[in-house]
Structure formats: C-alpha cells, structure tokens
C-alpha cells in the first residue's frame, strides 16, 4: 500500500476543491479544506463529510492547513494566486504544491491566456522558490465530474513538473480519484495543459455540456 499523505486544499471551498476533497478522502487520504475563513472551511468540510457518511475531512484557515499538510493543493482564482502564495511561502517550504489553478483572463476564459511567467504553474514555482516542488495537475478536470462518488471521473490527468518524485505522488493522487495520471513532461509544459482548459471551457459552451475532458490514446493499458 502506498503512503497516504495529508493534503491541504487551499481555497478548497469553491467549485473544484470540495469534489477533490471528497474523492481523496474516500481514497484514504487525510484531507484538510483551507479557506480565508476557518468557519467557512469547517462548513464546507461538513458538507463533504455528509456525502462521505463519515467525518474524514477537516476545515481550517489556509495558513493552518498549509502548516499541517504534507502536500498543498491550490484551487483559487488565478488573479488571487500571487497574494495567497506570497503569504503562505514560508509555510510551504520543503513541501509539494499541486497546482490546479489555470491562468485565465476573465471574462474571456474560453480563450487561451499565456501570462508573462508562461503559466500559472511556472508563476507559482518562481514565487515559491526551489525548495517547494510545484507540479501542475487536475487542471483539465472539471468540477462537475468530481462531486458524485457514484459516477467515475471520465478523463486523464496530465501532470507536469521538474521533480520526478513529486510527479509520481501526483500520479498516485490522480489514480486515487479514478483517473489516469500521465507524466506530461517538465513544468515548462504546463502552459499547454492550462491552455487546454480554456479550450475545454469553450467546448462546454459550444456543445452545451457540463464537463468535457481529455483522454490520451495510444498508451498501454493502465
Ligand atoms: N471549476 C472548475 O471546474 C475548474 C477545473 C479545473 C481547474 N480549475 C481552476 O481551479 C481554480 C479554482 O477554481 P474554482 O472554480 O474552484 O474557483 P472558485 O470557486 O471561484 O474559488 C475557489 C476558492 O478560492 C477562494 N478565493 C476566492 N478569491 C480569493 C482571494 N482573493 N484570495 C484568496 N482566496 C480566494 C475562495 O475560498 P474562501 O472564500 O473560502 O477563501 C473560493 O471558494 C481556478 O484557478 C480554476 O481555473 C477550476
């Protein structure tokens, strides 16, 4: 059995965070939902626990969650990313940050936006410094797919990063939610993965579907 890490989902109270919390807690990870407000985090953790039928997920202020975790997962709007990571930088040193954030430029979120840093993920790595191992993952997994344990998550997860061990952990986290985690190369490639999210948002709008996703063909069976 692989080691199950303590995960803190920073900003885990929104669309994407609770579904990830649900799936990871169900798979045996210790999960903390983080928020700017501890009471909001506790309320959302309670909602996730109600779905699980067990009190597995806890809620804390982002700072306490970042302190308590082995691995932090970032799920906040891109525009708020720098300020939160700047505040949490000392607490994240030596840890892994799984970046689910996507560089989007509202209101045209169905158009690819490439920030100066290359991607949200490279921006996070540059801000946090080399002692935090940042990986890009789950950026193409829509919130809609995550919230119901009776329905499998029908997509692959592309994972980019410069640290092989951190990527292997993110691949395990993808497998834990029932998806296939695929090593998609170095952190520099996160720009392509994040860009795909804008394409998927546009597909959802044009085809009137709640959550299109991606699959890679041509690989040996998982
Ligand atoms: N939604 C999806 O389907 C999806 C799929 C893949 C990737 N993503 C990416 O994942 C990230 C989160 O998406 P989401 O839809 O979950 O976002 P969201 O619901 O709009 O926001 C998530 C949480 O971010 C926190 N937040 C909002 N403004 C903040 C600020 N100024 N400073 C600090 N925290 C703030 C809030 O938590 P508190 O108020 O509790 O602090 C909020 O509940 C985005 O970068 C998005 O592009 C989303």
- Dist. CA 163 → ligand 1 center (Å): 25
Asked whether 84 lines ligand 1 (CB < 6 A), one says: yes
For residue 34, the ligand 1 atom closest to its alpha carbon is 40
Predicted confidence (pLDDT) per residue in 61-79, tens digit: 999 999 999 999 999 999 9
Q: Which domains does the chain have, with CATH numbers?
A: 6-207 (3.40.50.720)
| Ligand 1 centroid – CA 93 distance (Å) | 22
- Report which secondary-structure segment, H or E, holds 160: strand 156-161
User: What pLDDT, on the 0 to 100 scale, is given for residue 1?
Assistant: 42
Structure confidence by residue, pLDDT tens digits, 143-180: 999 999 999 999 999 999 999 999 999 999 999 999 99
Decide: 17 in ligand 1 pocket, CB within 6 A.
yes
Residue nearest to atom 47 of ligand 1 (CA): 102
Q: Is 113 helix (H, G, I), strand (E, B) or coil?
A: coil
Nearest atom, ligand 1, residue 76 CA: 24
Long-range pairs for 44-51 at CB < 8 Å and ≥24 separation?
Answer: 44/12, 44/13, 44/17, 44/18, 45/21, 47/18, 48/18, 48/21, 48/22, 51/22, 51/147, 51/149
H runs (alpha helix) in the chain: 17-26, 38-52, 62-68, 81-92, 120-128, 164-176, 190-207
pLDDT at 222: 77
Best of 8, 9, 10, 11 for a ligand 1 pocket test (most atoms within 8 Å of beta carbon)? 11
How much distance in Å is there from the Cα of 56 to the middle of ligand 1? 22
Q: What is the DSSP string of 161-220?
A: ES-HHHHHHHHHHHHHTTSEEEE--SGGGHHHHHHHHHHHHHHHHHHT-S-------SPP
pTM: predicted TM-score of the whole model, two decimal places: 0.97
pLDDT surpasses 50 at 96: yes
> Residue 84's pLDDT is what?
98
Nearest CA to ligand 1 atom 46: 101
């Amino acid at each position: 059995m692989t080691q199950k890490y303590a995960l803190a989902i920073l900003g885990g109270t929104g669309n994407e965070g609770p579904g990830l919390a649900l799936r990871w807690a169900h798979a045996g990870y210790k999960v903390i939902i983080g928020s700017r407000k501890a009471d909001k985090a506790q309320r959302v953790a309670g909602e996730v626990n109600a779905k699980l039928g067990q009190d597995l997920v806890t809620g804390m202020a982002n700072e306490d969650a970042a302190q308590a975790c082995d691995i932090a997962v970032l799920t906040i709007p891109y525009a708020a990313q720098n300020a939160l990571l700047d505040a949490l930088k000392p607490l994240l040193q030596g840890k892994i940050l799984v970046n689910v954030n996507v560089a989007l430029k509202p209101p045209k979120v169905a158009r690819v936006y490439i920030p100066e840093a290359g991607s949200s993920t490279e921006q996070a790595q540059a801000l946090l410094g080399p002692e935090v191992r940042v990986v890009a993952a789950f950026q193409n997994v829509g919130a809609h797919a995550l919230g119901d344990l009776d329905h499998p998550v029908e997509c692959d997860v592309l994972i980019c990063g410069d640290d092989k061990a951190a990527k292997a952990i993110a691949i395990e986290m993808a497998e834990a939610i029932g998806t296939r985690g695929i090593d998609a190369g170095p952190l520099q490639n996160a720009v392509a993965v994040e860009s795909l999210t804008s394409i998927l948002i546009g597909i959802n709008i044009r085809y009137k579907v709640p959550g299109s996703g991606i699959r890679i063909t041509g690989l040996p069976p998982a």
